[in-house]
Chains A and B, each alone.
Chain A
Amino acid sequence: MKVVTANFMTCAVKGCKASPASFPLHFHDAELELQELDFQAEFIQNIVPRLDWNGLQVTANELGFPKIPDTKPDGDALNDEQTLRDLHRLLLETQVMEGKLKCGNCGHEYMIKEGIANFLLPSHLV
């Protein structure tokens, strides 16, 4: 699972969605892998405005990434190649291969195995 994907996920439990604690989900025991991808500046420029920046800061911190900027880059900052390359690496090239994603509201843990996160709920949570 990529870091960018995590920015668009929340708990699958219906009752959790209204709770601010259900976003972002929290990574635990994450094993990362770098998968190189062609750098496309425009793609990053296009999706950055759509990211939840606070959520991304939490995720980057949990995955042990160096601190990302305090505020979401926009305007000129979005033309800075180094900024875009750093975001490309964090958002698209970083894969969480193993680990857990935990809901801060209900505490349910979703497993990530071989790079694939599984959000199917056990029957008692459906």
Chain B
Amino acid sequence: MADNDAPPADERAQEAYEEQNVHEVYQQIAEHFSSTRYKPWPIVERFLKELSPGSIGLDVGCGNGKYLTVNKDIFIIASDRSENLVRIAVNHQPHSPIVADILHLPHLDASFDFAISIAVVHHLSSPDRRIQAIVEILRTLKPASENHPGGKALIYVWALEQKNSRRGWDKGDNQDVMVPWVLKNSSSKGGSSDAPKTFHRYYHLYEEFELERDIRQAGGRVLESGYEKDNWWAIATPSNE
């Protein structure tokens, strides 16, 4: 697979493209991926720790579930598209993660105090699908009322502007990229070869202000946003217009 395989233009084809270039890859690399993802990112940690006891919310695209235990006084309904990652995430008691799709979340409207979606929305392969993903997250949050400030979502995406990172991308580069994941010792499933296997995941690299724009297009209001270690992040709430 070439590095510049652009995502297709048709919606059904985009779904199949993500199936092959995102979902299937995470299924394959789940265990190794999980072993490299254990440290919570500071802004996510802060967001979760500031929630009041008894807050109930979502972790959409929870991966191995590393954020589930940050704040023991809240309850998180975590989900991921990859069943193999959910199998790892279920070990974080008392939460019980499920398999679900970010574009079709199995939750009621206007019910939750918070949501996090960390390094997930950038895996959707068209502007429409990325905005729809944010619409779907915002839909589940409590709207603001006179007495309540409304639910808040923290969304994190990979940044195009990361010239000091290992990948070295920067402003002006192609935003739709295939990123290799090298899986060493793929011996778990009957394979006798110890040669490393390389998988490619699709990412849309967000440029400055693009996340805020997508949130507004999705009907959200940006409360706070910023850049942290090669990622853009924003805290959003459903807009009451």
Of B31-39, B90-98, B149-157, B219-227, the stretch lying at the interface with chain A is B90-98
The residues in B between 99 and 113 inclusive whose CB is less than 8 angstroms from any CB of A are 99-101, 104-109, 111-112
The digit string for A91-126, where 1 denotes a CB below 8 A from any CB of B, is 010010000000000000010001111111100001
Q: Which residues of B contact A (CB under 8 A)?
A: 15, 53-54, 56, 72-73, 75, 77, 79, 81, 83, 86-87, 90, 93-101, 104-109, 111-112
List 7 tightest A-B contacts by C-beta distance, closest first. A46-B54, A12-B106, A2-B96, A119-B100, A119-B106, A118-B99, A12-B104
Complex CA distance for A75 and B54, rounded to whole angstroms: 16
Cβ of B197 to closest chain A Cβ, rounded Å: 26
The reply on A1 being an interface residue by CB < 8 A is yes
Give every chain B residue within 8 A of A4 (Cβ-Cβ): 75, 94, 96
Interface centre among A5, A13, A23 (most CB of B within 10 A): A5
Asked if B86 and A116 sit within 8 Å, CB to CB, the answer is yes
The residue on B at minimum CB distance from A6 is: B96
Asked if A117 and B99 sit within 8 Å, CB to CB, the answer is yes
Asked if A14 and B94 sit within 8 Å, CB to CB, the answer is no
Give every chain A residue within 8 A of B94 (Cβ-Cβ): 2, 4, 37, 43, 92
The residue on A at minimum CB distance from B54 is: A46
Asked if B96 and A47 sit within 8 Å, CB to CB, the answer is no
The reply on A77 being an interface residue by CB < 8 A is no
Asked if A10 and B56 sit within 8 Å, CB to CB, the answer is no
Asked if A50 and B54 sit within 8 Å, CB to CB, the answer is yes
Cβ of A113 to closest chain B Cβ, rounded Å: 9
Asked if B105 and A12 sit within 8 Å, CB to CB, the answer is yes
Complex CA distance for A17 and B139, rounded to whole angstroms: 11
Asked if B96 and A5 sit within 8 Å, CB to CB, the answer is yes
Known: A10-B107, A10-B108. A50 touches B98 (CB 8 A): no
Give every chain A residue within 8 A of B90 (Cβ-Cβ): 115-116
Give every chain B residue within 8 A of A121 (Cβ-Cβ): 101, 104
Complex CA distance for A104 and B86, rounded to whole angstroms: 26
The residue on A at minimum CB distance from B101 is: A120
Asked if A5 and B101 sit within 8 Å, CB to CB, the answer is no
Asked if B98 and A118 sit within 8 Å, CB to CB, the answer is yes
Asked if B96 and A1 sit within 8 Å, CB to CB, the answer is yes
Complex CA distance for A92 and B95, rounded to whole angstroms: 8
Cβ of A31 to closest chain B Cβ, rounded Å: 15
Give every chain A residue within 8 A of B107 (Cβ-Cβ): 8-10
Besides A11-B106, A43-B94, A110-B106, 13 more A-B contacts (Cβ < 8 Å) are A4-B96, A8-B108, A8-B111, A12-B100, A17-B109, A42-B73, A43-B72, A47-B54, A47-B56, A50-B56, A116-B98, A118-B98, A119-B99
Give every chain A residue within 8 A of B97 (Cβ-Cβ): 116
Complex CA distance for A13 and B54, rounded to whole angstroms: 28
Cβ of B45 to closest chain A Cβ, rounded Å: 20
Asked if B79 and A119 sit within 8 Å, CB to CB, the answer is yes
Asked if A23 and B98 sit within 8 Å, CB to CB, the answer is no
